[in-house]
Structures are given as C-alpha cells and as structure tokens.
C-alpha cells in the first residue's frame, strides 16, 4: 500500500518572512527545513507556498506550487487549498517558525495514527498568566495548565477540513467530528513576531 500524498504548505503570515536570518530570509530558511522533511517522506510529497500575490511575487524564482490567498484567514486558506493541487494530507507550517527542526515535523507526522485526523505541536506556559480588563485592572490569575502555546507544522487529513466554516484556531477550519492530537513543541520552533525578536534570534544563533 502506497503512502498517502502529502502537501507541505509554508504559509507566509508576516512581512518579516522576507527579513534576513543567518544570511538567508526567514522564509527561505523555513522552506529549506520543509524540503528536508519532504525528501525523507518521498515522492508522494510536494511543497507549496501560500501567501498574497505580492508576497509570492518576491519568490518567483522558486519553482514550487504557489497558493494565492491570505494565510491568516482560515476560511480563505481552506478554499485556496481546495482549489489547489490535491493531496490526502495537508501539512501547514508558519513561515515565522524558521528554526523548527525536522524532528518536530517527524513527531507531528508520526502522531497521525489511523484514528487521528489532525495533529499540531504545543508547549506549556511557564509564565504567570493574568486576566486584565480593558482598563488594565488585573481581575485574576489564569490556570496556565489549561492553556498551551501553539506551534507548527499542523498536519490535517484533507477530508477533515471544513470548507464552510469561516474561523478556526487552526490554520484551516476542522470538521466538528475531527479527532485531534498534540505533540510536544521544541523551543526552537518559537515564532518570530517582530524585528526585535528577529534580532534576538540572530544573537542567539551567533552565540552558539
């Protein structure tokens, strides 16, 4: 029995994707790690990059499938994936998590057992979380054991994507009966949210 077809989608979620990290753009670093996983998976896998037409024009030299949409809009991304080249499994990776290692890809993939429809990596909060009003008054402490930091890649069976729903806490909406699993996220998969964080990440790399 052949392996299911797999589309690995690198989602351009921020202009910071085109900033430099370790002599390459954040986006290209992310793409290279995704390709490393794809090569191990085999010929049934292929790479796609999702982003606005303007973002995709900046990587016109990359000869992979390009999906034009706003990847930050779950419904729009789902419809774009529906209209794109088909695949049994869809793995979506945030371009801002450029230092995510192949081991995390493997961990996510291996967790997609026969009775699971979607997997993503998570990590626990170690900070104290406070509930704050719009007026900046602290009203209580949130149980940090009830919350997790979400990472990527997310791996989803195509048949479990809900193409009708408009919002989701996942990159694309999932059907109500989708069975979900999580795996442990590595520290390296932290998201780069700003130029200051990018500089910090570069300093950490330089110090190694």
pLDDT of the residue at 2: 76
Residues (pLDDT < 70) of the chain are: 1, 125-132, 137-148, 208
pLDDT by residue (tens digit) across 35-62?
999 999 999 999 999 999 999 999 999 8
pLDDT by residue (tens digit) across 153-169?
999 999 999 999 999 99
Query: What is the assigned CATH class of domain 6-206?
Result: alpha beta
pLDDT of the residue at 126: 56
pLDDT of the residue at 147: 57
Domain-wise residue ranges, the chain? 6-206
Counting other chains too, the contacts that 169-178 makes at CB distance below 8 Å and 24 or more residues apart are: 170/74, 170/118, 170/120, 171/11, 171/71, 171/74, 171/77, 171/92, 171/94, 172/74, 172/77, 172/78, 172/81, 172/90, 172/92, 173/74, 173/75, 173/78, 174/117, 174/118, 175/117, 178/117, 178/118
């Amino acid at each position: 029995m052949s392996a299911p077809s797999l589309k690995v989608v690198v989602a351009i979620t921020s202009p910071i994707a085109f900033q430099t990290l370790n002599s390459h753009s954040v986006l290209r670093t992310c793409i290279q790690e995704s390709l490393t996983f794809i090569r191990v998976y085999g010929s049934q896998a292929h790479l796609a990059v999702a982003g606005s037409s303007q973002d995709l024009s900046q990587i016109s030299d990359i000869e992979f499938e390009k999906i034009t949409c706003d990847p930050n809009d779950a419904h729009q991304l789902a419809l774009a994936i529906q209209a794109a080249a088909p695949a049994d499994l869809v793995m979506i990776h945030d371009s801002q998590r450029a230092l995510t290692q192949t081991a995390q890809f493997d961990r996510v993939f291996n967790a997609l057992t026969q009775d699971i429809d979607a997997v993503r990596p998570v990590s626990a909060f170690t900070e104290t979380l406070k509930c704050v009003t719009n007026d900046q008054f602290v009203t209580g402490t949130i149980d940090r054991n009830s919350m997790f930091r979400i990472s990527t890649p997310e791996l989803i069976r195509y048949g479990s994507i809900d193409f009708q729903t408009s919002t989701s806490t996942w990159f694309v909406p999932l059907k109500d009966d989708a069975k979900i699993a999580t795996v442990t996220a590595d520290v390296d998969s932290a998201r780069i949210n700003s130029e200051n964080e990018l500089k910090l990440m570069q300093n950490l790399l330089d110090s190694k």
